[in-house]
Amino acid sequence: MRNTLETLGNRVRIEFFGDSYDVVKRFLLATLDADGMWAAFPMFTHEPTRAELVAFESFVGVRVLDPLALPAPRVGYFGAAGNSTRLLLDPDTGVRLDRFGGKASASYVFADEVVDLSHALPGRMTVVFDQSYSRAEPQETQLRRKLVHLSAAGVTGFAYLSHASFLVLSSEPEVLCQARQRLTEAHLPETRLVDGPGL
């Protein structure tokens, strides 16, 4: 019988832990809200040890919503977010606008899941690792398309455009305006920020 993590298809690769992507995660979360209690859904490729979870929490600056404690069906996976107002979603690949099934779906967070999480709690800010884009068109164009799609569902956002790109999202635009300002005050170049509708 497959364990919970295999059933969920958690995809973070522990051999890459501590790489430049994790450094960017740490910077973004600390800058967006240094006082926030960030909770995370790291989607591991294997069943992590407690030591690995603690290492991830300590380095990135988050509280892992322990995947071992979650129900196996994907529909219940993000229910552990509870009353967390600051979330990191860390899939292996990124955000897909269209939902699909099968083994490959485990590498993604779907847009409707992000929308549900954003609307579930007033003032929630969600940061999503996103490397789900094609080389057929500019990455910025694809990030804008995702932001427009999410905006149509009542979720405002902006993207950090880099080799490690992230979406920063909320159902309350004022939350994002403050977060965006913190990044520019940290001297992050404006050219790295891609604004969605409403910002």
- Asked if residue 124 lies in contact with residue 154, where contact means CB atoms within 8 angstroms, the answer is no
Specify the pLDDT at position 5.
Answer: 32
Assess whether pLDDT exceeds 80 at residue 66: no
* 173-191: pLDDT as tens digits: 999 999 999 999 999 999 9
Q: Cα(115)–Cα(122) distance, rounded to whole angstroms?
A: 12
Assess whether pLDDT exceeds 70 at residue 67: no
In which band, very low, low, confident or very high, does the pLDDT at 168 lie, cut at 50, 70 and 90? very high
Specify the pLDDT at position 6.
Answer: 33
Burial 1-18 (b: 16+ CB within 10 A, else e): eeeebebbbbbbeeeebe
| Mean pLDDT (whole number) for 15-25 | 72
Specify the pLDDT at position 110.
Answer: 93
- Asked if residue 53 lies in contact with residue 43, where contact means CB atoms within 8 angstroms, the answer is no
Q: Cα(95)–Cα(57) distance, rounded to whole angstroms?
A: 22
